[in-house]
Structure 1
């Protein structure tokens, strides 16, 4: 924190005498031709000529850039996707291995990563810290499996506090996940000037607040420069320190590191309009006038002066506008040969793996095999690339591309309009006998409410007195009157009968069957770190007899009544809390039909905190889930879970919780009667006249839980573990019955 505050103070000092706010307003509608000096324009023209290698095409590109044209060749997007592969999330750990913060970094040569000095200030800070790649979503919006690599400061470490950058070596093989670092390529640092002129739009690829990889496309206008830094209009978030800042043609022009804050009476201001308090506010709370990035030319100059002969840095010193141009999209079917031909710097000898020529098939690739193809490429002076068909190697590579295209074409996921019945007369809701129709002994009922709790619920406007159950497609819920949140949401989940669906945009609706005043709507979720968290998950309800039926059922989960404020890190994590029911079925039971009944909700407590903007609305910090299913031998069982973030929030507060990892939010398996104690609900099953408590079919109730008296979260927060609570480090640590 102290190092970061020092960098802000330096940025403030550098900007003294320059009215960046007025400059940003003035530059908003100005072109590079109007904002750049003659020398900047000459440097830009020379750089384009050298990078494109053609006077005529470089002249056309130059005129388009300095006139402020927003038109880009369509390969701009593919080249950006390729550039993004080299960007990683930095997991900053203390000497005890606890995750304390995040940053962003990127590869600048094989096995060499750069980030800020205030992210990794010393060799000691690198010993436990890691670089994590592919913490992002794929083209279909699904989370990729990230790979994590250790840092090797003993091989290379250099840092500059003045310029706020650190370079450090990275291992070739992953320590978490199955990957090789060379797969991600690298982003060459070109020391020559002319990569961008004042007034050009810049792009930043980043992990804001430690979240999944994101891109801020052409929303940062280059305003002004000094010998050391660039200033550009601001649109980045906290946690983006160490991100690459790109020009129009995807050259790295700066290392993002800080900004110039807005001030009032000499005091830094926050986005909420109050004075910044370093004791409780973070980087994401500051209102910035402009961003500041360290110029690549100064970084290269500094490295060359300090370590001119270091073997790992030779690709950095050898980078030129011509050999560093990103020209190919990121195609995983092409390995090092294609990468080299595309203009990246050649890999050092020890990192090149020679693979004997053999026939490569789609089966190889689908099974995770990696093959090197000898590909003949035709590269035009404008950067366009084609695969030449002459020669056996070219024919082989072309056949692989064609087979990959055919395989991808087999994935039907058309987007269709989802019908909506505003009368709600077709909603059947939760079905007690869903697990085994015709077998009442296998029924699971909606939770029972005690008399006192029932009086706190919201009754239906047009229903009979006491009617408080809202039925939807496949699930039902009951609302709490004062908290304006669901007490529970109970769903029938069928993991068979599923389709590959193109998910339409979420359309959140108020339910007219209860008063609008009883529902927390979009006003509460704006301008904060809360996500609109589904209780019954949309993904769980994507099933039905037809594609349209599946879409209709899934879309019905987007009611404000089924929504609860959930911190973004909790809501976006699908590996543990949101993967519980899928693990029970897909990884454990292996039945022909995967069915579950999932009942979930918040633990509503008098001590729940409030958001300052709405001090009368408390938000929950603990959530529970009960999952019921049938084993392969036909036995009913039910398990219960709690996600507890209260210990973290007590120590850090909800604002500071933005910077801590999901792992700090501890997940526990508990006995069902513990959820009953905390919620005032009762969970029952069986025939209506002979109901029994689901705690009698809870496997955890039959197995003593051995646990440490205290569990240390990934942050410094200590989480007390009550008796009988089983901490879950992974899905495999769950206690389940004999599923055979």
Structure 2
């Protein structure tokens, strides 16, 4: 961008802001007589008597009953707060950031304020991030503050990711955009929490006082606290007297419960002196959420999943996830668990565990004893630290000894590795994600230890998030079919399974959700030789780089070498027994029925 283009950008941005200020002034003047009447009434009454009964009722409904002085504060007779009020304000401030508006070559064009409204989404003004390209070039800077010793805190910068989610509207002057989950220095954006949005109206009444957390003129974080009175409430806007400066655009405006009531966006200029302001204007959160709701039909399911945290932001299905029971197992439970047997198919068919590409080795979660393989009953798992999911699982299945065991829905963390390397119940609550077993529950349930094997499969290490719409039958009961075809070696099968980790997997509640899963099944054929077949279950078209969207899953039989490229795993000599390893097509074979599987 040349200097001339930079000047044009700044002029356009200034013209847009001036337009919004003039529109705010029109709204202010239009209601002047009504506002003066309400001001006179407030002198003799209080906000609970001046505002509408419906809004008063809603306002009372969100007051914490433990705050006995809340009503006294609203009617203006009391300014006492519990000391926790300050703590709550500090917590709310954590989610507020400075937005550094940049062009494509990284030059700084200006500053604004924004705040997290979910673990993945940030809210600010349209005139701060007016389009996709500006959002893609700009950064959100958290912790840009001065500490108690008047020193700068370490600032943390995160890129915005509009390719994942981007909604904007010039009239309501807001932009809702996705943010990267982990910064370049490894900091998680989830460390900064988020400010939940409430769609119901009546979160603050005319005459109440509000606070605003902001980055005035792009400076360190500041707060204008409580000496700021709501002057008027419009259909989509709120007017209030709050100290703000350029750079405060996109700041959250709070009521006394630190609930966000509006998005600050413009000052109301004094018609007698345009350099001065007689009020400020914010966009009501209820109006923004209504707009987002109306856009839901244009969003794919992955994007709807991203806004699942925003209350009533989208009409999503009612999920009937039962309350998950999480229990602990003692260290003695794992004693004697030998896990996967590499010679299960015969001494002449030893199948060692896959090895990793060198750049993945540091990401393998280590056990307390320094090893990296979690051994359970008849199966083993190797975990990824960064993804908190299994790199792969491998199970020995003995079809002649399978035992039906009653399902147990208690789940367990594995105490042998750090809990931060495991996805727990918080990922699966109140959403359409199923806890998908990687090693199927019934597969290791054979022999004298079948009961223990069944329980072992309910470890979070053996769990992967799968959308409830995933058609489990699209795997065509592969193990069952392959087991049926394992005519030699006493119906024995070895099955490797895992997710495909991609950098563009969507992030939800701090976890990247795999869009694809793979499986490799190894059997002994009638002639005594091995057959190793690989499968990929995906909802993506393998020939195109399509944006992830939950939809119809397809199953492909693919060369093992393709799984190796996609996962960074090396299966060694196993690939030599793949009947389609020389297949030139990168897509593989679409599997619609069991007869489509090629064993020879």
- What's the TM-score once normalised by structure 2's chain length? 0.48
- What's the TM-score once normalised by structure 1's chain length? 0.39
